[in-house]
Copies of this chain bind each other. A is one copy, B any other.
Amino acid sequence: MSLEAIYPADRVTLREVGLRDGLQLAKAVPSTEAKRAWLKAEAAAGVRHYEVGSFLPAARFPQFADIHEIISASGALGLHSAGLTLNERGAEAAIATAIREMVCVVSATEAHSEANARRSRAAAVELVGKVAALRNERAPDKLVNAGIAMAFGCSLSGNVDPAEVLRLAEACLAAGADIVGLADTVGYAGPRAVGALCAQMHRLCGNRPFIIHLHDTRGLGLANAAAALDNGARVVDASLGGLGGCPFAPGATGNVVFEDVVFLAESMGFPTGIDLEALTPARAIAEEALPGESFHGALHRAGPPTNANWQATA
């Protein structure tokens, strides 16, 4: 499938990252059955795009040991599945599966690149190129996604120059990535910084959509999502109940809350195709499967406005 068919440039797509980012630091490992039920319930609410795990050694990352089963389950439900390929071995593993999108990570700062992946930024961009070459050769239908971590500030290096982020984004596209993401990995961003960088990304990418990945660490996740949508971002990562954290962001509340992003996007006039009420059973499954985690979200608590039109008209 083409990029345009999967991420249409003229509408907003929400990507559920809870089964990947949300499980990264989770205390419990949900059963494969629970993951399948979660996927099925969330798909029934209209969610089509999922990060389903990471291609990492099962012994050290038991939460992703069943990634093959989850890819199968996504395929059976007709969903778009993405998985992290953080090294060549991961890419080799991914290419042999039916996963539809391979996600590489490039850090915006040298310090985080070395601390997180033990490689330089240049080597990370090179890996994007290798994954794209592998895809071209053996699985031309898969997408290659390059996410730029720490794009709005780094807990190790402090301020990040937006020009550096744009340079890396351009290098990833030149290396063969189909789509690039900007990640506020540690929740440093404010809406003006997000708006300004998204506007520049929009110019860089032209008709090609780009992804915004936000954490609500300091309460500005939704404000930043609004600024991103106002400035050309059309793909927004989020997780049910805001599940997730980051080893570099102590006290982080996780990704922006999926339900709240649906409400935000609709309120801004972007139809999401997602039935908010139908997300509740999916959330209940995730909560049951992850007893040690906090689930957040204002919309879930308060419900949508009564008596008023809040949904965007398609």
Contact = CB atoms under 8 A, between A and B. Distances in A.
Contacts of A308: 153-154, 158-159, 188
Interface string A249-281: 111110001001001101111000000000000
A187 interface: yes
A189 B218 CA distance: 21
Given A159-B309, A218-B298, A218-B304, A190 B251 contact: no
Contacts of A249: 302
A267 B153 contact: no
Interface string A277-297: 000000000000000000001
Nearest to A249: B302
Nearest to A222: B223
Contacts of A188: 305, 308, 310
Interface residues of A, number: 52
A9 interface: no
Nearest to A300: B219
**Interface residues of A: mostly helix, strand, loop or mixed?**
loop
A156 B252 CA distance: 37
B219 A263 contact: yes
Interface string A222-251: 110111001000000000000000000111
Contacts of A155: 305-307
A79 interface: no
Contacts of A267: 189-193, 220
Nearest to A192: B268
Given A190-B263, A191-B223, 17 more contacts: A154-B307, A154-B308, A155-B306, A159-B309, A186-B305, A188-B305, A191-B230, A191-B268, A217-B298, A218-B304, A219-B257, A219-B297, A220-B222, A220-B267, A220-B298, A226-B227, A253-B302
